[in-house]
């Protein structure tokens, strides 16, 4: 019912997105851009190809003024006046394609982006647990029979169809991530060999080169946990380890983007985080939405299988609907 209503309202949105956009800033979020088949993310991220990404950027350029990190800070603190509503382009996870594909496109167009990284995976020392899940699902492929021990590990009935097995793998959480290594053993899949051959992530040297070119590299937590599922102590530890890496390498240590979502993150986390006077702001992924924590800005996920303009129209319509029932602000306790 909700989706049907949003679709109906979206159809009435005009093409003048810049004028109808309800906030003064737009924060698009991507993870990866590639024309290749990427087994480590294809089952968990609906990434765009280079043609669709470039069209997104060109369409967004019609409606917004792109800014860099300093301009974003100045704008949101009232010290920078833009010619129109601004946009800050963001990427998460530090995938290699940002260096190979994204950066050249943005350099050509004169657009800045900030990539929020997990230091645990930089230099391809390890791979994120969701990527492991994607790799295992890809390894299972169209098989009709697999090692029966897989069912035991997943606590499934041995008669369960393969699709149920895949869905169960996709639901494995950060706290259960060791299960993925056990499943890989049962499925005879070698994560280390894959990482060595495909190098999914950027290296520290590539990150430094990107910084030299003017791009931002900032914090996404140590190894991509869902912060709402962590204790305050665990949240703080992940942040502290990440910031030590960023400072050591002269990267951007004034911001933090929540992995997955900031849903369930309470005020005490923000109070603890902003004790660090070097921290300017944080970023969530709730789309066009306000936040009771004024220095926590929500980004718009752009990898839904739709064009940027369609996504923004839907977000604008949804924001208007939530405003009618006073639900367009995230209130934290």
**In the chain, where the domains are located:** 2-126+202-330, 129-195
Q: What is the mean pLDDT of residues 284-303?
A: 98
Average pLDDT, the chain: 96
| Residues 163-184 pLDDT 10s | 999 999 999 999 999 999 999 9
| C-beta separation of 133 from 169 below 8 A | yes
| Residues 47-64 pLDDT 10s | 999 999 999 999 999 999
pLDDT at 257: 98
pLDDT at 123: 98
Please tell me whether residue 35 adopts helix, strand or coil conformation: coil
pLDDT at 12: 72
pLDDT band with cut points at 50, 70 and 90 for residue 241: very high
pLDDT band with cut points at 50, 70 and 90 for residue 328: very high
pLDDT at 199: 98
What percentage of the chain has pLDDT greater than the value 70?
100
CA-to-CA distance for 159 and 141, rounded, in angstroms? 18
Q: What is the mean pLDDT of residues 250-258?
A: 98
**DSSP state letters, 205-262:** HHHHHHHHTT-EEEE--SS---GGGS-HHHHHHHHHHHHHHHHHTT---SEEE-SS--
Least confident of 3-17, 41-55, 57-71, 314-328: 3-17
CATH code that applies to domain 2-126+202-330: 3.20.20.370
Judged against a pLDDT cut of 90, whether residue 14 lies above it is answered with: no
Order across the sheet with 65-66: list the strands: 25-26, 86-87, 65-66
Instruction: Kindly report the pTM of this predicted structure.
Output: 0.96
């Amino acid at each position: 019912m909700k989706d049907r209503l949003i679709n109906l309202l979206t159809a009435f949105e005009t093409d003048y997105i810049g004028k109808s956009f309800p906030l003064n800033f737009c924060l698009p979020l991507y993870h990866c851009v590639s024309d290749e088949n990427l087994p480590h993310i294809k089952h968990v991220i609906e990434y765009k190809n280079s043609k669709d990404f470039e069209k997104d950027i060109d369409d967004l350029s019609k409606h917004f003024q792109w800014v860099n990190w300093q301009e974003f800070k100045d704008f949101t603190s009232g010290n920078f006046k833009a010619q129109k509503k601004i946009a800050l382009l963001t990427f998460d996870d530090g995938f290699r394609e940002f260096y190979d594909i994204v950066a050249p496109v943005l350099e050509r167009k004169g657009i800045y982006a900030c990539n929020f990284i997990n230091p645990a995976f930089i230099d391809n020392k390890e791979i994120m647990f969701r990527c492991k899940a994607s790799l295992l699902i890809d390894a299972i492929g169209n098989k009709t029979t697999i090692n029966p021990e897989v069912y035991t590990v997943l606590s499934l009935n041995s008669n369960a169809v393969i699709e149920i097995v895949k869905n169960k793998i996709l639901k494995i959480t950060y706290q259960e991530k060791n299960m993925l290594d056990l499943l890989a053993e049962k499925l005879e899949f070698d994560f280390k060999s894959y990482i060595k051959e495909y190098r999914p992530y950027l290296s520290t040297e590539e990150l430094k080169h990107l910084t030299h070119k003017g791009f931002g590299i900032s914090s996404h937590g140590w190894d991509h946990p869902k912060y709402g599922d962590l204790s305050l102590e665990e949240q703080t530890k992940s942040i502290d380890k990440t910031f030590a890496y960023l400072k050591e390498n002269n990267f951007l240590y004034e911001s933090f983007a929540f992995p997955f979502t900031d849903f369930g993150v309470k005020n005490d986390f923000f109070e603890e985080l902003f004790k660090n006077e070097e921290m300017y702001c944080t970023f969530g992924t709730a789309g066009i939405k306000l936040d009771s924590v004024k220095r926590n800005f929500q980004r718009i996920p752009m990898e839904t299988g739709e064009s940027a303009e369609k996504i923004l129209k839907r977000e604008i319509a949804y924001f208007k609907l939530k405003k009618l029932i006073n639900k367009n602000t995230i209130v934290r306790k």
